[in-house]
Homo-oligomer: A and B are copies of this chain.
Amino acid sequence: MNITSDDARVRLLEAALDLFTEKGYAAASVSEIVRRAGVTKPMLYYYFKNKEGIYSELMAQALTDFKILLKKYENVEKDVYIQINNMFRDIMNLHAARLKYARLIYAMVYGPPQGAPFIDFEEYHAIMAEMLNKMIRKGVENGELEDVVTEDFTTVLLSVLFFCMDTQIIKCSCMMDSEDVSRITGKLFDKIIIKRGEG
């Protein structure tokens, strides 16, 4: 089989992601990654330098996708609760579409560090919390939302989002999807909405 170099790059990333999530970062070797990808070791060294490099690239991709998604909601001016609801749906859908990336992130956040390069996973939380706080403040300014203590309401919203994401990671019987997160978030907003938007 003839593999073009772009193919090789993508296959290496996929193989590494599979092996990191199945066996753990430390237990997955460069030999196994190239074998599963069906390419040669020099290919891996050429594109990613080493195992650390391929891991860093996977993590960078995940963060970039997340930031691109959020950009859409950066300048929300009105119908804030609808926009937050939409944003949560989008995040849940991205999470479901990229479940392997998410699984690797969870394993690195909650498992032993395994000698992997440091990634500041708190960034996900920080970006989300800042975005939500900003959107809720805007809603309060607009007179759409009650003047709640913003930070705690943000925590509740984030908790629900993360909980629903968790259920997908562990594939539990109580698994929730974007519809669930939307319904529950909607009910929370029902308690603090003053004025419904027309959007």
Contact = CB atoms under 8 A, between A and B. Distances in A.
Interface of A: 21-24, 26-27, 103, 106-107, 109-112, 114, 121-122, 125, 129, 149, 152, 155-156, 158-160, 162-163, 166, 169-170, 172-174, 176, 183-184, 187-188, 191
A104 to B, nearest CB: 10
B159 A24 contact: no
Contacts of A107: 107, 110-112
Contacts of A106: 110-111
29 contacts: A21-B112, A22-B112, A23-B112, A24-B114, A27-B27, A27-B112, A106-B111, A107-B111, A107-B112, A109-B110, A109-B170, A110-B111, A110-B170, A111-B111, A121-B170, A122-B170, A122-B172, A122-B174, A125-B174, A129-B174, A152-B184, A155-B160, A155-B163, A155-B176, A156-B159, A156-B188, A159-B160, A159-B162, A163-B163
A158 B184 CA distance: 13
Contacts of A26: 24, 27
Interface of A is mostly: helix
A152 B163 CA distance: 12
Given A110-B111, A125-B172, A191-B191, 15 more contacts: A21-B112, A22-B112, A24-B24, A27-B27, A107-B107, A107-B110, A107-B112, A110-B169, A111-B111, A129-B174, A152-B184, A155-B163, A158-B163, A159-B159, A162-B166
Contacts of A149: 187
A92 B122 CA distance: 21
Nearest to A160: B159
A152 B112 contact: no
A184 B191 CA distance: 15
